[in-house]
Structure 1
Amino acid sequence: MTRGPAELTVEAVRYEVDGHTLLHGVDLTARPGETVGVVGPNGSGKTTLLRCVYGTLRPTAGRVLLDGADAAALGAKERARRVAVVPQDAAGTFGLTVREVVAMGRSPHKRFWEQDGPEDRRQVAGALERVGAAGYAERRFEELSGGERQRALVARALVQEPGLLALDEPTNHLDIRYQLEVLGLVRGLPATALLVLHDLNLAASFCDRLYVLSAGRVVAAGPPGEVLDEALLAEVYGVRTRVGVHPTTGAPSIVYLP
């Protein structure tokens, strides 16, 4: 069964490891169909938060809700039906073709050891075409460039038909053309999207709302035009900027100053 866009609620999530607190009571919401960005400097807790959302890390305190249900109580297969992940790396893909890697995304919709059917093959072919990877579908995944791998991982997430798409630096290794195409594709999907991004101009252009993390705390949240100002960027990133308005898109446009 295909779900509609999910509602994500992160309530007072705290995460500690080895006596160090990486997240300090983070609250976050993503309404159905929204594209929400998480930004902040290196070490601010962005990837840790994303991993708590999709379940590879369990919060020390607080909880993550998907459509009002506690995500920690969901089984692995049910969680995979609801949440698709585009990670920074791609474990478990050695020796597989791109088509086989993408087809892995259909697993939550099938019984154990069930073979791919016509609908699975249709979904895989469509996703490969949408991300521009159809031309190298039979190549080994480990032979690809970084950008080609990233497109294949996005295609794998698409075929899960998730309610929530969680992406950790989805534009990593992509040239400008494919950065724009992938983020435009994410915005056009019938799913809620939570993205960790480093590029603030891309975040401003493609995200409905932003959460700014610093040292494991949310220091600002809201539409990009309300969040990204020169004082905040100086405080969080330690850089001088000029923030204007893009003449075509109307999104904030950030110029970094020496």
Structure 2
Amino acid sequence: MSDRMSNPAVLRTESLSYRTGEKTLVDDVTLHADRGETVGLVGPNGSGKTTLLRCVYGTLTPTGGRVLLDGDDLAARSAKDRARRIATVPQDGHTGFELTVRQIVAMGRSPHKRFWEADSARDAVLVGEALERVGAADLAHRTFAGLSGGERQRALVARALVQEPGVLVLDEPTNHLDIRYQLEILSLVRDLGTTNLLALHDLNLAAYYCDRLYVLDAGRLVASGPPKEVLTSELLADVYGVTAEVAVHPATGAPTVTYLPTAGRRIAPST
């Protein structure tokens, strides 16, 4: 398989902030993803994960700080140039239901083309390679509407790959997927060779698949580092308000979180 679509870049945010009205959604966040790393954003609902990702891939303009790719400030780049360098797999995959998978994936070539320009032979090769790479070649002629959730995510990852990006940004890529597809998608992303920044709810999946984690709470960065250093009982109590035990799993070597019920409280059985 050609590695032409693996062009990993170094991503860095410097004091990134986003405010709307009187509300601060992201507050002075500095993070980095080294070339080829998979970096996870974790934190409670409303902690700022999706807002931060949107600032990184350009659908929101930061109100403070900046986003750098290989040291290049992306604020100076056009939306089209930015799309050539950062690709996103959105949380909501409801797009182009009437199109075939091949057509959906080919849409990823649009940042490299004029709006009237037809697909080239090279485009066709890249689409075919991307489908092969995500294990979806047999889905090429099926309609997007007819796919399972896991198959749709594979198609959307392939669409992102044909952009030939330096960074792949994923917002809850396992949302609404059965556990088998959650594992398949995260294994796929980690093995692509791209630099990946993804938001995840499931801390055990984040611990296993991410090289490093950044923990957000109310828009602020409260912890960062390898999962073994970040995921502690104390942090989970402080940030998530839960009681949990964290131990290293003997098979994976990754920290595993076990949530404990609050002492003295029981949920009445349903009738």
Moved over 6 A (4+): none
Root-mean-square deviation (CA, aligned residues, Å) is 1.8
Q: Which residue of 1 aligns with 2:217?
A: 214
Q: Which residue of 2 aligns with 1:198?
A: 201
Relative to 1, partners in 2 of residues 1:123 and 1:96: Cα closer, same or farther, differing over 3 Å?
same
Per-residue deviation, residues 133-181 of structure 1 (Å, max 9, x unmatched): 3333323323433333222111111221211000001112322222222
Q: Could you state the TM-score of these two structures normalised by the residue count of structure 1?
A: 0.93
Determine if the alignment matches structure 1 residue 225 to structure 2 residue 228. yes
Q: Which residue of 2 aligns with 1:135?
A: 138
Relative to 1, partners in 2 of residues 1:243 and 1:188: Cα closer, same or farther, differing over 3 Å?
same
Q: Which residue of 2 aligns with 1:11?
A: 14
Q: Which residue of 2 aligns with 1:54?
A: 57
| 1:150–1:172 contact (8 Å) kept in structure 2 | no
Q: Which residue of 2 aligns with 1:71?
A: 74
CA distance in 2, matches of 1:4, 1:130: 15
* Partner AA of 1:55 in structure 2: G
Per-residue deviation, residues 212-253 of structure 1 (Å, max 9, x unmatched): 000000000000000000110111111111111111221101
CA distance in 2, matches of 1:2, 1:97: 22
Per-residue deviation, residues 29-49 of structure 1 (Å, max 9, x unmatched): 111111110000100000000
Q: Which residue of 2 aligns with 1:38?
A: 41
Higher gyration radius (CA): 2
Q: Could you state the TM-score of these two structures normalised by the residue count of structure 2?
A: 0.89
What is the number of residues matched between the two proteins?
258
Stretches of structure 2 that go unaligned for 5 or more consecutive residues are: 262-271
SS of the equivalent of 1:22 reads strand
Choose 31-40 or 137-146, whichever is displaced more: 137-146
* Partner AA of 1:20 in structure 2: K
Stretches of structure 1 that go unaligned for 5 or more consecutive residues are: none
Choose 164-173 or 132-141, whichever is displaced more: 132-141
Choose 146-155 or 198-207, whichever is displaced more: 146-155
CA distance in 2, matches of 1:15, 1:70: 17
| 2:249–2:255 contact (8 Å) kept in structure 1 | yes
* Partner AA of 1:185 in structure 2: L
